[in-house]
Structure 1
């Protein structure tokens, strides 16, 4: 299992996941050229990708979908409402899933689950591989009970820690945008992300990607401090935490890995 956060944040989002036989992206929010270049940096040829799975239609998650799909002959998996909401996608190989459906794709199982965000049909994903599960949950205003249930017993987590509440409150954003970010259809704060981690923490967790950090209203240090406090309070052995991109984590079942 290999995971790399190629990009994360309001300027673009894309997550690379590799199992024994499958290479997929979750979202393609950069240009096709940028995605190909970042994959090349980690030794992956974009022509070797097998598919792209889309969480929702916002441009920072789907900007490069059309060109990437056409250039590398990639099928794109969407919820039908997400597909309908994407403008100027062009001709691509379209495949659809329903929320709650398990998509069997080569040697992985991909389970979309609903999240709360201001989009047509936003989802998170659990990617189940022979080496364990990867949970991806970003761009959500609240972590519902269903989100918590979906992320149980994941080997790797990609969790949103978008903003520090004080930095957002005192920062330069206009008040309507601050309200949108803090709403139930906005983004999780550092404290919210840490609380979600607390709900799904277990001994088999090896790595946590702290995702979608705001450049204006957060810092990697503040996000990591919030999560570290949760782990310390529970006397839990700390998994590897990643707040930057791109960063590759290769996971294999090894008793020495934490």
Structure 2
């Protein structure tokens, strides 16, 4: 199993997960043309996809999903609440995901994990294939016991480090947006991300990718300073980029 990012941040998000059996796309916040370009950079095309999975309906995660599904005739898996976006629920592409219930997609075991975020019925995902586990965890404002339980034993983790608390407080956002981003239904700050790792079995982690970093309220250096002390192997720590994403990472 391996994974890669087409891009991560407020301007668009998409992640690829591939096994020897199939390839799936998680979220698509880019146009068809941009998605095709970014996938080609990773040696893949939308025609290689088994399905698209969607975490929630915010535009940086979903705006390209239905156009891509229509062009390439792909099923789209998401919650009922997420499917209320646009015409998705009325489309024959939609497949209902029940949060907390495991589903098999292309031979991959997928657990949709409910998270606290200001969306209709948001989730994140834990993927299992041949005894290896990949956790994708972004776009949540607080870490619940349910989240901690499901992300405790990952072999690789894509983890939100959206903002530094002080940078957010001192930054250019209006007060209402600062409250939203920093609230329990917003986005994880660096210390919250570190706290998840503090209770995880970090000896299993081959890769930890810091994701969804705010361009105005965080820096890779600040995120790394918070996360690195939590890891058994600091060489496992990487950062996802808005433009470049990151290249394929193998889970051995």
- String of CA shifts for 1:142-197, please: whole Å, max 9, x gaps: 01111010112111101110001111000010000001111110011011111112
Cα distance change on mapping 1:172 and 1:252 into 2, 3 Å: closer
- String of CA shifts for 1:2-61, please: whole Å, max 9, x gaps: 211111111111111001111001111111211111110011122111101111111111
Of 241-250 and 10-19, deviating more is 241-250
- 1:32 and 1:108 map into 2 onto residues whose CA distance is 25
- String of CA shifts for 1:172-226, please: whole Å, max 9, x gaps: 1000000111111001101111111222233121001111100000111111111
Q: Which runs of 5+ in 2 are unaligned?
A: none
Out of 207, 231, 236, which is 1:240 matched to? 236
TM-score by length of 2: 0.94
TM-score by length of 1: 0.92
Does the 8 Å CA contact 2:54/2:77 hold for their aligned counterparts?
yes
Q: CA deviation at 1:92?
A: 4.8
The residue aligned with 1:96 is 96
| 2:106 pairs with 1:82 | no
- 1:239 and 1:199 map into 2 onto residues whose CA distance is 20
The residue aligned with 1:168 is 168
| 2:248 pairs with 1:249 | yes
Does the 8 Å CA contact 2:13/2:61 hold for their aligned counterparts?
yes
Cα distance change on mapping 1:166 and 1:252 into 2, 3 Å: closer
Q: Which runs of 5+ in 1 are unaligned?
A: 254-258
Structure 1 residue runs of 4+, over 4 Å off?
A: none
- 2:142 and 2:76 map into 1 onto residues whose CA distance is 27
Does the 8 Å CA contact 1:70/1:92 hold for their aligned counterparts?
no
The residue aligned with 1:256 is none
Aligned CA-pair RMSD: 1.4
Q: Which has the higher contact order (CA 8 A, sep 6+)?
A: 2
Q: Secondary structure at the match of 1:80?
A: coil
- String of CA shifts for 1:113-146, please: whole Å, max 9, x gaps: 1100001111010011126111111110101111
* Number of aligned residue pairs: 248
Mapping of residues 1-258 of structure 1, within 5 Å? 1-84=1-84, 86-89=85-88, 91-130=91-130, 132-231=132-231, 236-245=232-241, 246-253=245-252
Of 200-209 and 244-253, deviating more is 244-253
